[in-house]
Amino acid sequence: MSTWYYVVVSFDGDYVNLRRTDIASDELKLVARALLPAEIRVGSKLKYEMFQYELIG
Report the distance separating Cα 15 and Cα 28, nearest Å.
12
How crowded is the C-beta side of 57, counted as CA atoms within 13 Å? 7
What CATH code is assigned to 3-55? Answer: 2.40.50
pLDDT in tens, 9-29: 999 999 999 999 999 999 999
| Amino acid residing at 8 | V
Please list the residues that pair with 35 across neighbouring strands: none
Q: Span 27-43, mean pLDDT?
A: 97
Walk across the sheet containing 15-20 and list its strands: 28-32, 15-20, 3-12, 45-49, 52-55
3-state secondary structure of 14: coil
pLDDT at position 57 is 86
Domain ranges of the chain: 3-55
Report the distance separating Cα 49 and Cα 42, nearest Å.
20
